[in-house]
Amino acid sequence: MALLPATLLAAGAPQAATVDRMVLASGGAVLELSAPASGIMRIRMGRGKLPEDASWAVPAAARAARLPLQVTRSGETLQLRSAGISARIDRRTLRTEVLDGSGNVLLSDLAGSAALAAGGGFRLRGKLAGADHIFGLGDKTGTFDRKGGAYTMWNSDAYKFTQATDPLYKSIPFFMAVGDRGRAYGLFLDNTWRSTFDFGKTERDVLSISAEGGPVDYYVMSGPAPKDVLQQYARLTGTAPLPPQWALGFQQSKWSYKSDAEVRAIAQRLRGERLPADVVYMDIDYQDRSRPFTVNRKAFPDLRQLASDLRAQGLRLVLITDPHIANAPGQGYAAYDSGAVQDLFLKLPGGEYYSGDVWPGASVFPDFSRAKARSWWGELYAGLVADGVAGFWNDMNEPSIFNVASKTMPLDVVHRIESDDFAPRTTSHAELHNVYGQLNSRATYEGLSRLQPDVRPFVLTRATYAGGQRYAATWTGDNASSWQHLKIGTQQLLNLGLSGFSLAGNDVGGYAGEHPSPDLLTRWFQVGAFMPLFRAHAETNRPDQEPWVGDAAHVDIRRRFIEERYRLMPYLYGAAEENSRTGVPMLRPVFLNFPQVLAKGDRLGGSEDQFMLGGDLLVAPSPTPESPGEYTVELPGKGWYNYWTGQRLAGKGETIKPDIAQLPVYVRPGAIIPKQPLVQSTAFAPKGPLELHIYPGPDCQGEIYADDGASLAYQRGAYLRQRIRCEETEAGLRVEFEQRQGDWKPWWNGVKLHAYGWSVQAVPDMAAGSILIPRPTHSSGNGE
């Protein structure tokens, strides 16, 4: 079977044709190739027929798009060419090679139709290039480079996980391979069943991808640069929405602040200590008997007044809402009663509700694979939204179940898929387990969007699947208070960013285990201040670890780093906006901005220990953070600036002697960093000029992006975007403000230019124009 003219399939001389997809059959297997976008090849295969063309990760419009395929035949080989990517297929075995636009082999299939197992499931095999490094798969631990490891996709509650724990909370079956010269390709397996990725652990230089069931449906992205791969992946699975600006502020959480008075005390302490913050979280103890969508009125007599009073202090409330609904018929529990009357809970094969023990005790679970159940779930938030709650936290949604060895529900629990472009059908939890958390957060996000159509929702989820970035931010789960977790947490967040999830964080200070030492807590606040999601959180029955805990010297250091984050808010917000447009993450390994560093080899050219925030800031913690020993920071080129002093480095790096009061941060030569005067919350408008910190060098440019930080008005033109460039001339440093886009009126009336190595100059706010900064007659001590 083939969607080709008969003349092309006939024996004889090579011929050519153009099709929108290619379908071949051999040995009982059916293979389809299509090109949904430039640089992307989709490959599907099934036994006797193709698998259903439906997805929880890739929207229908992205799957339906098809670029032309130029097909030629030579003997038993078919060659397919499309924009930026091509493929070669052996018609007899259906083995397929995928090549980039220049003809370089990206992925060489070693299995073909033999990948399909007779009893269901499959095992794909391909060649791995010896020089390739592997990144992605979400926040899995192990080594930063996945090469040589094997990983399982199965969402799991992993309390106090270690560097060797696998699987964890998320299943994101996407990876990016990057060679030493910076050329990259990506692969996304769109399959929600339990699956494994083996990157040469079992067979040297062999990639093996297997699943217990579900479709062979994968996409190869040709890059060629790492950023290109991420943008191609975002073209398929979508980008994260632009978050509310307050979600980039400091967030204080604990299991649990157990009363109205305790929450108010936390808010008052944050403001009294002059610790900038935007969010206070409330864990399960605000609820009546840990039942979602209830409030313990003895402990929290007036939630609406609490939310209002905190909002007046520039603080928002985020509340936990787990997916387990107490199995409480006849008790007046509205969430149970309304779900039961509509028959929305998961069932066992015999037809009775599945009930599992979680925080409320015996609990039932919504069938989020049904659009009707997701709509019902979203409506449950109406009362909390009316009370002024700003965001919601979906935890325990792997789903996690107590008192069973599997830590989750039985695999034969029945789901009734009624959603999107899936054919209505029943299936087992074995198929839907890995996507349950994603669908839970989707239901929350879509519900909030209906309740407040012009307000950006904030949803935080623990478990998810590919494409879940469209609905929620995430965090790395129940980490431990240890130096090892401080380090591996950064690598987890970098790989999450390389897997589509940019707005992510880990629990600052550690969630579980021994209480962090003062030094560990301080270091975590320092590093956390440069993470996309900056949330301190810890479990119950352990000493406090809020930022004010400890001696004054440590508190002052933590305060200084939190304050610096708020000064950097225009830069952070611009990075979040870039991510929402392109899929390029806020937090980046060094090689993402500078692919050539991988050729250095040692510690992935610094990418193993260092990280970048946006395109211009490089943070360089110690590779052994618990050690007082010196270490060398090697930068990707000459001329970088010390962020704290503005001084330009003479060489490509420097030796650092660790100091608990300092964290080395560097600025790319040629960067223009927007900053603002200090505020205690993003709810308060800064007072004073916008600051543009200019670090002269090659390709000198930066961008300002701003909007109201809360609504969807930016989608209707209410935003400000402006590119700024600088050029050193004989007359001085010329700073050019390109024509401003959008019609949002900024909070600033003037701009202060900090040109390092030149001078400080105040200028009016400019919608367009240029300024010349004269050459300095002398150099000041602070680098300006």
Known catalytic residues are 395, 398, 478
Asked if residues 588 and 497 have their Cβ atoms less than 8 Å apart, the reply is: yes
Residue 310's contacts (CB-CB under 8 Å, 6 or more residues apart) are: 263, 264, 267, 280, 316, 317
For 633, phi and psi rounded to 5 degrees? Answer: -100, 120
Please report where in the chains the tokens 């965001």 appear, as a residue.
Answer: 391
For 219, phi and psi rounded to 5 degrees? Answer: -120, 135
d(CA 682, CA 709): 9
What is the DSSP code string of 458-492?
Answer: -EEESSEETTGGGT-EEE--S-BSSHHHHHHHHHH
Alpha carbon distances (Å) from 99 to 87, 105, 293, 660: 6, 4, 52, 49
Residue 298's contacts (CB-CB under 8 Å, 6 or more residues apart) are: none
Alpha helices in 498-551 (DSSP H): 518-528
* Segment 294-298 long-range contacts (CB within 8 Å, at least 24 positions apart): 294/333, 294/335
Residue 388's contacts (CB-CB under 8 Å, 6 or more residues apart) are: 304, 307, 308, 311, 317
Angle between helices 569-582 and 226-237 (to 10 degrees): 70
What is the DSSP code string of 56-115?
Answer: SSS-HHHHH----EEEEEETTEEEEEETTEEEEEETTT--EEEEETTS-EEEEBS-GGGG
Q: How many CA atoms lie within 13 A of 492 on its CB side?
A: 29
Residue type, 1: M
What is the DSSP code string of 388-456?
Answer: T--EEEE-STTT--SSSTTSS--TT-EEEEBSTTSPPEEEEHHHHGGGHHHHHHHHHHHHHHHHSTTB-
d(CA 91, CA 290): 59
Count of other CB atoms within 10 angstroms of residue 379: 14
d(CA 682, CA 253): 18
Residues in the chain: 784
Q: How many CA atoms lie within 13 A of 117 on its CB side?
A: 13
Structure tokens at 430: 């074995």
Biggest CA-to-CA distance, the chain: 86
Asked if residues 617 and 564 have their Cβ atoms less than 8 Å apart, the reply is: no
Angle between helices 371-379 and 334-341 (to 10 degrees): 150
